[in-house]
Structure 1
Amino acid sequence: MNSVATRIKDLLGPEIAGPGFAFLAVMLFFGFASPQFLSEATFGSVAFQLPELGLLTLAMLLPVLTGGLNLAITFTANIAGLTVAWVLQANGGVDAGIAWFALGCVLAVAVGAATGVVMGLVIAYTRAHPILVSLSMMIFVRGLGEFLTRGGDVSGFPAFLQPIGHGSILGFPIPLLIFIACVLLWHVLLTRMKLGFNTYMIGSNIEAARYSGVNTRKVIVLVYTLSGAMCAVAGIIMLARFNSVRVGHGESYLLITVLACFLGGVNPFGGFGRVIPVFVALVVLQLLSSGLNLMGANQHLATAVWGILLIAVMILRWLAAQLMILNRRKG
């Protein structure tokens, strides 16, 4: 029994305490406040809405763990979605075959990865701040997308895309299954692979990692490449969900991905954080949004509450750190 408990503790880490407490608080509050909250419809809605935000959060997670940031995630996702859309439009539109969709997905992932490669190379070799580099990429990708689409939507896709965005397997939404697979992939990468270990080292102290023999430039480029590739997966899911692509889709998700990372116990300066607590934090944010909607609150209020929650998380973290310092001094 102790070994099982130890394994669970090692899997989740101490970071699970914050999102776990928030999950219980949200469930109890809205469970009492709204009779419809604890229903199949609510959890079904969360299951369909979670994946696109979740995938973008995974794209944000790796750069944050290195002490960086990727502000271009939403526009990278949209330019990747536009890549798939253009391949389909150029080869029959609504009559395009699955092979063309598969080719579009491959090209979309390549486009997403390419944006990450460029950012990673600039950050690694010029030591420019990740915020400035990713902001520049965000502006470039947004401008390029608006130029190519003239600010409009691209729509008219084959019917077989509908199940990818809205279908289910054994009662589980297909987008959710894709997201869970990506969560497991990221978990394995960070806990079982050398790249994950080096990512934590760079986030903790990049100079110490360099002196330890870690090729920090290579790791940073790989981290941003994987971040861009994950953005592309999110873009493909968004295309299937909305049955259209627009450069501005999911613009509001950017800051929410940062909130999810911090609520999930990820250190904003890098070096510490796990995937599973971030997954729980995403569930909390979606349940919070659904609960407010059931109570008749405007979606903008939910966004405001997310902002307040981020401030509260920062304050609670500071208080926890001060409490630990006091306990050490007493000990």
Structure 2
Amino acid sequence: MTTTDRSRRASVLPDFIDTHVIVLFFAAVAVFAALGFARPDIFLSAQNLQSMLLQISVIGLLSLAVALTLLTGGIDLSINAVANLASIVAASFLSASVGSNLGLPPELLAVFALVVGLVVGLLCGLFNGFLIAVLGYSPILATLGTMTLFIGFGTVITGGSTLFGIASLANIGRGAFLGIPFPAIVFVLIALGLAAMLHGRRLGFNLYLYGANPTAARYSGINTRKLLLIVYAISGALSGLAGIVNLSVTNSANVDFGSSYVLLAILVSVLGGISPLGGVGKILGVIFSVIILQLLSTGLNLILQASGSNFLRDFAWGLTLILVLAIGRVQFGSLQKLFSRHSGTVEKGEANGKG
């Protein structure tokens, strides 16, 4: 098969889909069918399905935030701290507004809370981007430091206690359209919009190029500082939105919520085909990956519901992440060897041609 034949066959798939995404899709269908067959009375109940969709929306938004930064070859470890801080500030705003008797409609207060959460997330993301893009800090060290900083801010605001929202915001979070919870619809729309942006706009091209080869991106004239600021700002906004979604679903906010969500978001991203080295991966893969992990989580819950222990679940997530990283390393190593072999062949051919 010639190179032209291979490229022609590859072009059958849209740019935002690859074979990994297709494999994940069928894997999600298989896991869903297996659990539905094993425990149809519990797993296929409307209550369980809606509960899964609500959990997918929060984890999914955080996973998108991580995936974007991984595509640049960086990472954002502060996503959960940003989400909690956004929900805490929004809940504080709601409490102050209700207590001050401003007379604003509850629905309008809910919209203001959403805006406040997004602004908090955006500012946190811009701060991360400033540390990384402008000051040149390592992404893992910068976001590890800001994670602690944001947790500290949240603790000061709450005093270590739990804050609560208002009924109108909870009604939105628990509302549904045709049986599908609003938060799940929001997640899908944002994920699809993000996929379209990355695979049909200049920003996406620049992001993938920078993730694959930062030096080449700089020499091609890309403003890499601006690019990183935008990426981490979007990551922060997505994290802030995840915090507001969680506030609307649980009607509460505290600094300790979702302590394992950073690990889960990284696991979702890597399992979805996002390379930790940057420059490789599809957003649709993240969508199917979060669905698969939520299905597996529900399956583990069905197994462990008698014991009520979370140890095996956390152990399974950690083990799964290690296995996924190991498989990805082997695959990347094979691709690297293949590339080196072809590069060597080309260099020899050029040398022979010159001779």
TM-score, L = length of structure 2: 0.84
- The AA in structure 2 aligned to 1:74 is N
Question: 1:139: which partner in 2?
Answer: 148
Distance of 1:18 and 1:69 partners within structure 2: 25
1:283 Cα deviation after fit: 0.2
Distance of 1:323 and 1:116 partners within structure 2: 35
1:185 Cα deviation after fit: 1.7
Distance of 1:24 and 1:115 partners within structure 2: 37
Question: 2:161: which partner in 1?
Answer: 152
- Which of these residues, 184, 198, 209, is aligned with residue 201 of structure 1? 209
Question: 1:54: which partner in 2?
Answer: 60
Report the 3-state secondary structure (helix = DSSP H, G, I; strand = E; otherwise coil) of the residue aligned with 2:320.
Answer: helix
What is the correspondence of 1:92-171 to structure 2 with a 5 Å cutoff?
92=98, 97-155=106-164, 157-171=165-179
Which structure: larger Rg?
Answer: 2
* Unaligned 5+ runs, structure 2: 1-7, 346-355
Q: Does 1:13 align with 2:18?
A: yes
1:37 Cα deviation after fit: 6.2
Distance of 1:225 and 1:99 partners within structure 2: 25
Q: How many residues align?
A: 328
Report the 3-state secondary structure (helix = DSSP H, G, I; strand = E; otherwise coil) of the residue aligned with 1:303.
Answer: helix
Q: Does 1:244 align with 2:252?
A: yes
Report the 3-state secondary structure (helix = DSSP H, G, I; strand = E; otherwise coil) of the residue aligned with 1:10.
Answer: coil
Please tell me whether the aligned partners of residues 37 and 291 of structure 1 are also in contact (alpha carbons under 8 angstroms): no
- Which of these residues, 289, 303, 307, is aligned with residue 314 of structure 2? 303
Identity of aligned residues (%): 36
Report the 3-state secondary structure (helix = DSSP H, G, I; strand = E; otherwise coil) of the residue aligned with 1:11.
Answer: coil
Report the 3-state secondary structure (helix = DSSP H, G, I; strand = E; otherwise coil) of the residue aligned with 2:16.
Answer: helix
1:21 Cα deviation after fit: 5.5
Label 1:302 to 1:26 Cα distance change in 2 as closer, same or farther (>3 A).
farther
1:307 Cα deviation after fit: 1.6
Please tell me whether the aligned partners of residues 19 and 281 of structure 1 are also in contact (alpha carbons under 8 angstroms): yes
Question: 2:351: which partner in 1?
Answer: none
What is the correspondence of 1:138-287 to structure 2 with a 5 Å cutoff?
138-155=147-164, 157-287=165-295
Please tell me whether the aligned partners of residues 164 and 237 of structure 1 are also in contact (alpha carbons under 8 angstroms): no
Please tell me whether the aligned partners of residues 161 and 254 of structure 2 are also in contact (alpha carbons under 8 angstroms): yes
Please tell me whether the aligned partners of residues 18 and 264 of structure 1 are also in contact (alpha carbons under 8 angstroms): no
Q: CA RMSD in A?
A: 2.7
- Which of these residues, 50, 74, 78, is aligned with residue 72 of structure 1? 78
1:104 Cα deviation after fit: 2.7
Label 1:54 to 1:142 Cα distance change in 2 as closer, same or farther (>3 A).
same
Question: 2:4: which partner in 1?
Answer: none
Question: 2:324: which partner in 1?
Answer: 313
Distance of 2:336 and 2:327 partners within structure 1: 14
Answer with 163-172 or 98-107: which moved more.
98-107
Query: C-alpha offsets along residues 158-182 of structure 1, whole Å, 9 cap, x if unaligned?
Result: 3212222211111111110111111
Distance of 1:67 and 1:13 partners within structure 2: 20
1:18 Cα deviation after fit: 5.0
1:320 Cα deviation after fit: 3.7
Distance of 2:131 and 2:317 partners within structure 1: 32
Please tell me whether the aligned partners of residues 170 and 247 of structure 2 are also in contact (alpha carbons under 8 angstroms): no
- The AA in structure 2 aligned to 1:39 is L
- The AA in structure 2 aligned to 1:16 is V
1:322 Cα deviation after fit: 5.8
- The AA in structure 2 aligned to 1:23 is A
Query: C-alpha offsets along residues 12-46 of structure 1, whole Å, 9 cap, x if unaligned?
Result: 21331553454255345535544446524443332
Label 1:177 to 1:303 Cα distance change in 2 as closer, same or farther (>3 A).
same
